[in-house]
Chains A and B, each alone.
Chain A
Amino acid sequence: MTDPNSQQTVLEIGYSRLGDYVVIELEGEVDVYTAGKLRDAIREKVEEGEYRLAVDLSKVAFLDSTGLGVLVGGLKRLNPHDGKLAIICDNERILRIFRITGLEKIFTIFPGAQALTETRAGD
């Protein structure tokens, strides 16, 4: 998502809770201009003591390696707390980047929030 007036990248961030997971819902584009917002969102939640995070990329239209780096950084931030950072995404354009970089092996990726709930039930 790009602001048609300024041609600047836009990233909206919302939050919801799904069981013991905090879901960080993204809408827009994640690049060098907006990735800081995602980094801050993850950091804030960890500082609040939330160690089970799910980043929902279903409404993300663009993601590059800057965004991937923020997600990997989030994972490292959670590791000392024995936390989890799951990805929710059914967008093939975005999933392809995870496959190319091999990050699909690092993150647990769910096709939707429902799938995250079902997996939790089986934990």
Chain B
Amino acid sequence: MACSAGGVIRLDMPSSPRYVSLARLVVSAVARGLDFSEESIDDLKIVVSEICTNAIIHCEPRREEQRIQLICCPRPGALTVEVRDSGQGFDPSCVGTFEEGLAAGKGFGIPLVRSLVDEFELESDHGKGTVVRVTKYDRLPESPPGPR
């Protein structure tokens, strides 16, 4: 990931629900430093919360022994966030849709992430952990039309 002069921000945290809010805090602070809009910051908080929650689930059953890495790569107008876990991994083709999540009462996470970011990559395999990488571009308000 090619980052701006500020460089990469990394958070290495235990695979525990209590630290998901810390991940949100870090990502929102980085996005705010890039002057992202409040809506984009809200989107990123949800995105990171979803990905970290999934990472924690993937780290079961030996969750407390596992760690999750959050890597933020800021660039002007864009923020790439990568979340890595060393959990059990899963088959990415099993990721469902909103409709399937509705039927199951869960599984809204990845479809929600996809809808809130501009770029989405997921690498996972059984026994090899999971890497999710997303990029969000900030949407600046359109300029009003100039004089004709």
Contact = CB atoms under 8 A, between A and B. Distances in A.
Interface in A37-93: 62, 64-66, 68-69, 72-73, 76, 93
B109 interface: yes
A72 B20 contact: no
A29 B18 CA distance: 12
Contact of A32 (B17, B22, B111): B17
B102 A103 contact: yes
B4 interface: no
A57 B57 CA distance: 26
Interface of B: 17-22, 24-25, 42, 45-46, 49-50, 53, 56, 98-99, 101-102, 105-106, 108-109, 111-112, 115-116
22 contacts: A2-B21, A7-B19, A7-B25, A31-B21, A31-B49, A33-B17, A62-B24, A62-B49, A64-B53, A65-B50, A65-B53, A65-B101, A65-B108, A69-B108, A72-B102, A72-B106, A76-B105, A101-B101, A101-B111, A101-B112, A102-B102, A103-B102
